[in-house]
Structure 1
């Protein structure tokens, strides 16, 4: 069985910014607080302790108790909620959209990474407690990004319209989705478990936020996960001073744009607005714009004077929703958080935000790339072994992989480097003669050298092509295996849904993921189910 490791940096699936961050390049150090190493968490704890009001803890716990009313909750999760009142308790947080039935696999990996980091920190710092938090992105409105999941290469989709925050969206219409999914599952106890999970999550809850809370709670009920919905009046009351500052001073635009100038050699993940807030109601989520000395709600006739919008903020803070620039600040204001765990794209936009945190006197969290995983069956691992493949081979570009393996399978060397070097030495003596005559002869020698080198390169390509035909069977088996593990030549974790693997191995799937993920390691985890 292949047993090599694939670092994130060498996988080919992370941006230059994230690779440089993981390599701790000096030019990026000003964009984060402490790099996520176990020894650095003590520094982060000390900073957060000195800069997090105890009264925020009580508001947080009170709100969580309200949000969990009517839900069955495990003893460990209930205990974790109460621990948040204590000054020596901190959170590790991940966030994700309310994807239907969890969406891609990396939803599972994010939460597992968060849970496992809390366990590791408790071992390292036994006098403190650490609570894993899943922040539900209930105020997002990108319904088309979350209204489906893939099951065995088929899209299971919820067809309906959505205009406001997705967390408030009614679950009406999901019976039809369930029937389609159920018909694909087949028979067996694992299939029945998945049917039951979908039914209890989506058909027995009236909105998408509650359905997602139930689902995540059910999957991780024994791990102490605490799930939070930021779409809350009481939590947003804590954020009023920051919203007011955004409306009147609009400093986040200036702060983030200055940072983005520092990132000009990289792809910038997000760009700020002049005002980084939405105005939301059940069926409305639109940007707040300042024009003609008035605050306007985009695509509506709603307008406010300065005094009116400040009164609206005091009376109805739940109507003010932070966008991607301000949501991280909101999270860190209401949570005693040490570290945010996210994918490469998320960490890329968090790296734009430190200066804005400093301007608001809020401690910037540590930023950790979530665990990435490749799931394989034992049969697939055996195939890789039989085909003399390393796991890193399967991460390769398909054409490069074919070329590499063809050369390895061939009985002779498909590399004319020696011949090309020999040819170049022969031409060196011709050039020595050429420089003693006119320039036209020198040009003729150079042209002939290029022509013959090109001829050798073409012969090399033709020989490689001929050898590919000889080894067609093995190469086709490699192709099939890579396509199984990398659907559409993309990462499995970005395409497949957990249900596909749960169907095969049941609850041991989640147990194995939790047992094997090491959040502070910077390499793909290969899990053979």
Structure 2
């Protein structure tokens, strides 16, 4: 595959706020700990403390979570390395989207694998292990139960509710058989995805098998935060959240400062916890002196909920603002990598981390990719559209028309001549009555408007004669920016038929550059 990097100015996914962060703007320094640089990571290593006890709990938990799954040798090695005090994790996180969801889920993972490899080469006194945090407790079924093969939405309609990772996989055999019939070019890949799900008790296990298949040889560790053992190490923050609304207070205070630079993505709740149980995940709310569970009749006194926490910490599930703290307390983590929106909400959390005396990780903005198949490449070559002109996609058609027609100079000389003619008329009419100047100006504007109308007519005729070209230009735009979002945020890996999923993941890792934030375009060669 060919690889191209767009210029920073043409990189579509970076906001001005994130640009300032990546460029080290000192005004933003209060929102994070160490900078997203090699030097920042070195400092983070010195600050991160993680006990032998916590390493042992982590190791045992992972062995249980991986039980029944064939482990590639690099995974076995990294699991054991986690017991070493000089081993640190490089983490990204995401929900177990059905069939992995949009491609950026795999791009995230490729990023932490490449960064871990780079750090292992440069900082040889330490070990760095890539970790995918699978947030299986997420219960937003409508967000997670579908994926897209190109622009075709494939949805798994199920009556199951609660944490999506706990959904059982019964009945999926027919579902996958139907997909294979619709997309015969991907039948083999759909088959192994299907096999992983059908051999699993739930979605989370199926996702673990898929990701392990794609990235296990790269040593990726997959951890599910839905764990009683891990949440035992998070009991104190859970209790303080229940008793003192600690997240609400600290995030609200930080949001006031952050809002001067960017709109805070997430609003904190008074209690940022869910009650998690079989087929059930609902918010905990404080109602007077009692804790109520939203959309249910469940309620607790203070003593009752504290008893539940002591006996069953796994029943408490942190929301999007509290989960990062949980993650950093149960992992020897020094770097968290994510997309622009994800990294932005982490900037809301520095005060919360300070409160619990937990080192705030280095925040790295993952790479972003667009994949170009041979058909789209052919169109680009045919119409001589350079890669650097593909963003914004709204300009692809305009670029081609301007390059191949003279509409941008349409009747330009005639416009100049008319303006001069009306200037002479104005000079004549003003001798008789200066009020006639207004009439002359009005007529001039009408005439110039007529030329604009002529241009539109001529352009319409040209477009009618070049419909096939314009259709191809639209096809380019719809492939690169489907429904006006980045391709990686919509298309599943099954959209790319010219390469196997394993080869695709290798290419993502190969072309990832952890400290280069320009958008990457990968071309399948014709």
Is the structural similarity TM-score above 0.5? yes
- 52-61 or 249-258: which moved more? 52-61
Are the counterparts in 1 of residues 62 and 223 from structure 2 also a CA contact under 8 Å? yes
Are the counterparts in 1 of residues 59 and 83 from structure 2 also a CA contact under 8 Å? yes
List gaps (5 residues or longer) in structure 2: none
Are the counterparts in 2 of residues 435 and 442 from structure 1 also a CA contact under 8 Å? yes
**C-alpha distance in 1, partners of 2:111/2:352?**
27
Which string of whole-angstrom CA distances, capped at 9 and with x for unpartnered residues, describes residues 251-291 of structure 1? 21122122222343533311100010111111221111111
Which string of whole-angstrom CA distances, capped at 9 and with x for unpartnered residues, describes residues 68-98 of structure 1? 1221111111111111111211111111111
Are the counterparts in 1 of residues 393 and 477 from structure 2 also a CA contact under 8 Å? no
List gaps (5 residues or longer) in structure 1: none
Say which SS state the counterpart of residue 133 (structure 1) adopts.
strand
1:264 to 246, 259, 262: 259
1:67 equivalent to 2:29? Answer no
Are the counterparts in 1 of residues 13 and 340 from structure 2 also a CA contact under 8 Å? no
1:322 to 318, 322, 343: 318
1:213 equivalent to 2:208? Answer yes
**C-alpha distance in 2, partners of 1:248/1:427?**
79
2:236 to 241, 264, 280: 241
Are the counterparts in 1 of residues 144 and 164 from structure 2 also a CA contact under 8 Å? no
Q: 5 Å matches for 1:173-322?
A: 173-186=171-184, 191-199=187-195, 201-264=196-259, 266-322=262-318
1:513 corresponding residue in structure 2:
508
Are the counterparts in 2 of residues 7 and 522 from structure 1 also a CA contact under 8 Å? no
Q: 1:465 to 1:117 in 2, by over 3 A?
A: same
- 434-443 or 459-468: which moved more? 434-443
1:340 equivalent to 2:317? Answer no
Are the counterparts in 1 of residues 393 and 480 from structure 2 also a CA contact under 8 Å? no
Q: 5 Å matches for 1:57-136?
A: 57-136=55-134
**C-alpha distance in 2, partners of 1:418/1:332?**
67
- 154-163 or 245-254: which moved more? 154-163
1:150 equivalent to 2:144? Answer no
Are the counterparts in 2 of residues 171 and 206 from structure 1 also a CA contact under 8 Å? yes
Q: 1:310 to 1:430 in 2, by over 3 A?
A: farther
Q: 1:9 to 1:259 in 2, by over 3 A?
A: farther
1:46 corresponding residue in structure 2:
46
**C-alpha distance in 2, partners of 1:413/1:155?**
39
Q: 1:379 to 1:185 in 2, by over 3 A?
A: closer
Q: 1:294 to 1:426 in 2, by over 3 A?
A: farther
- 79-88 or 408-417: which moved more? 408-417
1:5 equivalent to 2:1? Answer no
- 87-96 or 429-438: which moved more? 429-438
Q: 1:97 to 1:506 in 2, by over 3 A?
A: closer
**Deviation at residue 478 of structure 1 after TM alignment:** 1.7
**C-alpha distance in 2, partners of 1:9/1:336?**
36
**Deviation at residue 330 of structure 1 after TM alignment:** 0.4
Which string of whole-angstrom CA distances, capped at 9 and with x for unpartnered residues, describes residues 352-409 of structure 1? 11121112211111222222111122343232122111223222243x3322221110
Q: 1:419 to 1:497 in 2, by over 3 A?
A: same
1:162 corresponding residue in structure 2:
160
Q: 5 Å matches for 1:494-513?
A: 494-501=489-496, 504-505=499-500, 507-513=502-508
- 487-496 or 307-316: which moved more? 487-496
2:54 corresponding residue in structure 1:
56
Q: 1:415 to 1:231 in 2, by over 3 A?
A: same
How many residue pairs match? The answer is 523
Which string of whole-angstrom CA distances, capped at 9 and with x for unpartnered residues, describes residues 450-509 of structure 1? 656655555555554454445444333222233234333432212221123257546322
Say which SS state the counterpart of residue 219 (structure 1) adopts.
helix
